[in-house]
Amino acid sequence: MRKLVLILGIWILGGAAYAQQSAQYTQYIFNGLIINPAYAGSKEIWNVNAIYRDQWTGLDGAPKTQTLSADGTLKHGLIGLGFQAMNDEIGADGQLSLLANAAVRLKVSETGNLRFGIAGGATQYSRDWTKIKTTDPDPLNQNDNARAILPTVKAGVFFHTERFYAGLSGANLVPVKSDYVLTPTRHYFLTSGYVFDLGEHMKFKPSFLVKEDFKGPTNLDLNAFVLFAERIWLGASYRTGVTLLEKQTPEQKLELSSAWAGMAELYITPKIKLGYAYDFTLSELNGYASHEISIGYYFLKKEETFMLSPRYF
């Protein structure tokens, strides 16, 4: 029986051990499109965002993720369109995805909007066998690289007013399987938040994200941010694994660990924003920090001096 030992073939997410499933982000708080296709066009302005994440810097084989996304509206905001490209590597395994997004808006009250979105495309899953150490080589796996291109579908719903939002989405909705590369399972995301006034030039935004795959511990993110003078976001996030559903026997349960993240986002100009997140894990990997950098650009018209509503999420 062959035994494979990956340089880093286990995705530790929310303190639980997983095979590579979905890319980890901290700054989804500022770019909801990466977790919910219904977010496309919700800012009612065309914009482009890029994120680079270096997970557990210095650890051999640790995850690295690059994402480029863009979205905007047509038909006076009734239709949202978007695009996502993502490259994710962890140990010997990788994912390269290209997705197109579409969303429709239904106005349900004076300030309330309900959006339905879908994203579809393809993902190339790969495994570099030269990075895998084997005690009993398998002649079927002697190729340097194994690849499989498979369909990818996401769907979601997103409700928002000028101050409140809530979203529910699903990723990897088409079941896919390969004998030679790791493929993801379905994931579901539930998120919500609200913006409070703390004064004339300060706002407070608490939010949460629940991530569920109905196989391992549930991921829970608790976030708190303050916006200063409509220009600078400062805040923190606490990520942990929780047992909401009994999905494992006591013998199979893994220790639930947690992580903290500090984040900042700065609007350099009304058109350009920069973001940074610093994560540190409260587990055996606490010696390895994670860094995430983002940049965004808004295609504002000359007469527009600030972001169109909604601008807080």
pLDDT for position 60? 82
pLDDT for position 250? 46
pLDDT for position 170? 95
DSSP result, 101-150: EEEEEEE-SSS-EEEEEEEEEEEEEEEEGGGEEESS--GGG-SSEEEEEE
Residue range 38-51: mean pLDDT, rounded: 93
pLDDT of 222 strictly over 90: yes
Kindly report, residue by residue over 244-266, the tens digit of the pLDDT.
766 554 444 444 568 999 999 99
Q: Please state, in angstroms and rounded to a whole number, the distance separating the CA atoms of residues 201 and 190.
A: 30
pLDDT of 281 strictly over 80: yes
Q: Is pLDDT larger for residue 209 or for residue 147?
A: 209
pLDDT of 306 strictly over 70: no
pLDDT of 286 strictly over 90: no
Per DSSP, the three-state class of 269 is coil
Instruction: Give the global pTM.
Output: 0.84
Distances (CA, A) of 292 to 54, 92, 115, 282: 6, 21, 28, 18
pLDDT for position 303? 55
pLDDT for position 96? 93
Kindly report, residue by residue over 156-215, the tens digit of the pLDDT.
999 999 899 999 999 999 888 777 677 778 899 999 999 999 988 899 999 999 999 887
Q: Is pLDDT larger for residue 194 or for residue 230?
A: 194
pLDDT of 20 strictly over 70: no
Show the CA angle centred on residue 292, arms to residues 268 and 174, nearest 5°. Answer: 115
Most confident of 51-55, 256-260, 309-313: 51-55
In angstroms, how far is the first alpha carbon of the chain from the final one?
Answer: 51
Neighbouring C-beta atoms of residue 216, cutoff 10 Å: 23
pLDDT of 302 strictly over 70: no
DSSP result, 219-267: EEEEEEEEEETTTEEEEEEEEEEE-SS--S-TTT-----EEEEEEEEEE
pLDDT of 121 strictly over 90: yes
Quick one: which of 158, 126, 162, 170 has its CA closest to 145?
126
Q: Which domains does the chain have, with CATH numbers?
A: 4-298 (2.40.160.40)
Q: Please state, in angstroms and rounded to a whole number, the distance separating the CA atoms of residues 182 and 215.
A: 16
The label of the residue with tokens 């220009």 reads 231
If pLDDT is split at 50, 70 and 90, which confidence band does 69 have? very high
Neighbouring C-beta atoms of residue 230, cutoff 10 Å: 15
Amino acid at 183: T
The region of weakest confidence among 24-33, 245-254, 291-300 is 245-254
Q: Average pLDDT, whole number, for the chain? A: 82
Strand pairing category for 93-107 and 113-128: antiparallel
Q: Is the bond preceding 206 in cis, omega lying within 30 degrees of 0?
A: no
